[in-house]
Amino acid sequence: MQEILSKIDSTSYLFMINNKIVKTKVFDDEKSNYEISEFDGYDYDKNTLKNTMQMSLKDIHKINKLIFKDVEEKIKKGKLFSIYYKDKNIYNNTTIVISFAPIPNLNNDVVAYIIHYKFGHFIDIVLNNIRILFMVLTLLAILLSILLSMLTFNENKKRQAMYDFAVHDALTGIYNRHGVNEVLNQKLEEFKRNKKDFSVIFFDIDFFKKVNDTYGHDMGDYVLENIVKIVATEIRASDIFARWGGEEFIIFLPNTKSIYAVDIAEKLRKLIQNHAFSNIKNVTCSFGVTQLMEQDTKSSFLKRVDTLLYKAKESGRNKVVSDY
């Protein structure tokens, strides 16, 4: 930053950014690149705090401590402005022009400032070339705005990746129990508002422990991944498929009556039964199917389908049991 600004002219610049941006958008290991400024709510970018400017950094800090109250309200308004300052103890009472150039983000909110310091004997030059100066500062503001946007984008991308990891099953890539619980809460609210049909299929793999014990956990993972592929191919994009835990899976079917959900479950049961799982002779699954009722809570809805799955397993496995 300092190198770029110095190439424009040889006077003095500082860059400060809203400390809320630093706290919420800057990675933890990069926050040490900022320090508190004399201006309330803003931090300096340390990269611009260098004693290579026309004015000494020590004198600039003295000036800022003396003017911060005078400019505080103007900074809050996010406007471009300049002030004239002189002090007998700083550069022998020489007039100094201090300009504050706001930097907006994509939402047009001011999130940073470039502060420009220039001795009074440059005033005529500044006044005669004010439009050029402001154009340069505007271009710099755009550049910094782009950089801030990239920073925000990368931070959002990182947060989205962390969220996706938290709500998806690491082995199969479908929703995990935590993720599907969030979706289910939303769907239950939609059902209450719109009174639309909403069914669920709950199934698990029969004798899965035996698969792991006989063929090893790698083969167990292979079976889980292939069952997910079979199911994912057959269900709709609007259906919600999740690994509930271990060898248990759940499918939520919006706009679907239980009679049709049973047909889907039966089709999946047959596809899994007839699929060739490497050197395992065959794998089967047991299914429970029910439809959301008006008086249901999330707890009662899930408990009912869990009971139906238990009945399927108790009555011989490899079958679909529903309550319609």
Catalytic positions are 247
Tokens of 256: 């679907």
What is d(CA 306, CA 70) in angstroms, rounded to the nearest whole number? 68
Q: Are strands 285-291 and 320-322 parallel, antiparallel or unpaired?
A: parallel
- Helical (H) or strand (E) element with 158: helix 130-167
DSSP string, 235-303: S-TTSEEEEEETTEEEEEEET--HHHHHHHHHHHHHHHHHS-BTTBS---EEEEEEE--TT--HHHHHH
What is d(CA 106, CA 268) in angstroms, rounded to the nearest whole number? 48
Q: For the chain, what percentages of helix, strand and coil (3-state, to nearest 5) are there?
A: 55, 25, 25
DSSP helix/strand/coil, 57: helix
